[in-house]
Copies of this chain bind each other. A is one copy, B any other.
């Protein structure tokens, strides 16, 4: 099943026709190795990439070689849908784990925008949710402490995975290692390690290998000041 359809149906109802249009827009499927670039910064894509399986991240590198991860993507996310209109990629996208990616030609997407106004609005919506997540990250970066920020990121990934059925309610695969987590939070690796131990010390979670188990979801959310409103999970006509 196309996980984008699941994602959109979580927010609104799709007609059979719309589901078909989305499915037919996929030209081919590509496998990407872990750590490889899915889309290069500065490129002008002619097709957009939808993550079917695996995890990806958007990132930018500064002139001084520092990396900042600006978004984490899970199955169902259309990682560079915006290249349809922005034309030039102002950032790169990389596979955090091995990924299976659906390629959707811009021609096909443009045809959807011409012929399926409601479906177009839902594609637009998915980019608006990306924007809402960016804003939440900005608040976390600017106004939360390092520990709170880490807890917040974990809550977000947990919630987004829970929505697509990829948790068992407490345990899930966290696709970032400590280096990548540091680049997502704007911290040093060393400090990520220390604040992680702080979360462990409070008995809020365990994190071994790629697996995180949240001991007390409500407590972690409280600690992180996590409010999922910004993920816009309500199902209503859009």
B66, B127, B128, B141: the one contacting A138 at CB < 8 Å is B141
Given contacts A70-B135, A70-B138, A134-B131, contact A232 B125 (CB under 8 A): no
Contact indicator A117/B113 (Cβ below 8 Å): yes
Given contacts A141-B141, A143-B68, contact A229 B135 (CB under 8 A): no
Interface flag for A88 (CB, 8 Å) = yes
In the complex, which residues of chain B have a beta carbon less than 8 angstroms from the beta carbon of A117?
113-114, 117, 120
Within 8 A of B (CB), among A89-130: 90-91, 113-114, 117, 120-121, 124-125, 127-130
In the complex, which residues of chain B have a beta carbon less than 8 angstroms from the beta carbon of A125?
85-86
Size of chain A's interface in residues, with CB distance under 8 A? Answer: 51
Given contacts A127-B127, A143-B66, contact A234 B88 (CB under 8 A): yes
In the complex, which residues of chain B have a beta carbon less than 8 angstroms from the beta carbon of A135?
58, 60, 70-71, 90-91, 134
Majority-rule SS of A interface residues: helix
Contact indicator B88/A128 (Cβ below 8 Å): no
In the complex, which residues of chain B have a beta carbon less than 8 angstroms from the beta carbon of A185?
142
Contact with B along A68-94 (1 / 0, CB 8 A): 101100000000001001111011000
A interface residue numbers (CB < 8 A to B): 42, 58, 60, 62-64, 66-68, 70-71, 82, 85-88, 90-91, 113-114, 117, 120-121, 124-125, 127-132, 134-139, 141-144, 183, 185-186, 225, 229-230, 232, 234, 236, 238
Q: List 27 A-B contacts (CB under 8 A).
A: A58-B135, A60-B135, A60-B136, A62-B144, A67-B143, A70-B138, A71-B135, A85-B124, A85-B128, A86-B125, A86-B132, A87-B238, A88-B234, A90-B132, A90-B230, A113-B120, A113-B121, A127-B131, A130-B131, A134-B138, A137-B138, A138-B141, A138-B186, A141-B186, A142-B183, A142-B186, A143-B186
